[in-house]
Amino acid sequence: MHITRRSLTAALGLAAVTPFAAGRSMAQAFPTRTVRVLVGFPPGGSTDIFARAVAAALSEKWAQPVLVENRGGANGIIATEALSRSAPDGYTLMMTISSHVTNRPLNPNLSYDPLRDFTPLTLVARAPFVFVTHPAFPARTLQDLIRLAREKPGEINYASPGTGSSQQLAVELFANMAGIKFNHVSYRGGAPALMDLVAGVVPVSLLTTTQVLPMVRDGRVRPLAVTTTGRSAVMPEVPTVAESGVPGYDADVWFGLIAPRGVPPEVVARIHADTSAALANPALRAQFTSQDATVINGSPDAFATLMREEDEKWSRVIREANIRIE
């Protein structure tokens, strides 16, 4: 067959255009079936609430079912392992939290790498923690707590939802920056830690603002400071740690949507764009505000940068505090 210069040029041009056209067509077609959103924690918590809010909005946008699947256990590791084994086609996603990156230095034998083995889609939101004490404990401000801790290094107990939890890491960062030392008491979740704080078994804890809000309002616990750089929306009268004498301190829990590594860029762009549109809806944003979370709506690149930064930050805290999960 004789090939002319014109036919060769046309063929080459078609070859150059085809991948772009195919990618665009793939993104426009996606999704054509049910999408799953994994959650590494039981139903009812903030992660589950946020995942269901986003899933409902995406289901309406896509005219396809978007189902939340709770796979609790091992601080989110069980669900993340399932995600890592899923096909990189955009049909299996996960609403993950800060422990996604801190699980690596805490668990050296993980079957996956939290930075390399996943595709960041959207940094959804961030929420603060709050230092709280039992009302009988003689610390009415964070500066009081620092002073008492310096007078009795390592003697003041604090409760966390578990060894390696974001709350424990946030307290250890605070102690390091303030030049003090506490004694960690690990619980199986925030609820039992809060129960023992209210009962006076432990004098200090760091928990989510929404978790302690009812107890703050009726005087069963005393808030000292929130951990983010800005004040809490539900406790605006409570100062930040930075305002309370530890400048530069910042710790929180973030929520983000991820997928397995290798999802086509066009599908990543489609999921992020549609998630962004959902997060701009005032009704959906109100669900986040009710949990004292600030909608961030960060791009895939911004989310990837945050995860790298958080990996470095908390790996250093874990190493310096010698935190180990037995």
pLDDT for 121-179, tens place per residue?
999 999 999 999 999 999 999 999 999 999 999 999 999 999 999 999 999 999 999 99
Are residue 143 and residue 86 in the same domain, yes or no? no
Q: In this structure, what CATH number is given to the domain that contains residue 84?
A: 3.40.190.150
Tell me, yes or no, whether 118 and 135 share the same domain. Answer: no
The answer to the question of residue 12 being in a domain is no
Range of the domain at 173: 129-226
Q: Give per-residue pLDDT as tens, 11-39.
A: 545 555 554 444 555 567 899 999 999 99
Say if 182 falls within a structural domain.
Answer: yes
Q: Is residue 264 part of a domain?
A: yes
Residue 13 confidence (pLDDT): 52
Tally of structural domains, the chain: 2
Phi-psi region of 35 (alpha: psi -120 to 50; beta: other; left: phi over 0): beta
Residues 146 and 100 in one domain: no
Q: Are both 111 and 144 inside the same structural domain?
A: no
Would you say residue 1 has pLDDT above 50?
no
- State residue 200's pLDDT score: 97
| CA proximity to 45, closest of 11, 5, 76 | 76
Among 226, 260, 281, residue at a domain's last position: 226
pLDDT digits 0-9 by tens, 63-116: 999 999 999 989 999 999 999 999 999 999 999 999 999 999 999 899 999 999
**What token pair was written down for 41?**
């924690």
Residue 15 is assigned to a structural domain of this protein: no
Residue 9 lies inside a defined structural domain of this protein: no
Q: Same domain for 117 and 139?
A: no
Is 278 within the bounds of a domain? Answer: yes
Which tokens go with 54?
A: 């986003």
Mean pLDDT, range 263-270, rounded to an integer: 98
Determine the Cα–Cα distance for residues 217 and 294; give it in Å rounded to an integer: 22
- Residue 56, phi then psi, degrees to nearest 5: -65, -40
The answer to whether residues 120 and 146 belong to one domain is: no
Residues 170, 92 share a domain: no
Cα separations in angstroms, 123 against 74, 145, 150, 160: 22, 33, 38, 25
State which of 226, 243, 260 marks the end of a domain: 226
Residues 187 and 52 grouped into a single domain:
no
207 and 69 inside one domain: no
pLDDT computed for residue 108 by the predictor: 87
Same domain, 156 and 213: yes
Confirm whether 168 is domain-assigned. yes
Residue 277 lies in a domain: yes
Q: What is the CATH number of the domain that holds 214?
A: 3.40.190.10
Do 200 and 286 reside in the same domain of the chain?
A: no
| Domain identity same for 123 and 38 | yes
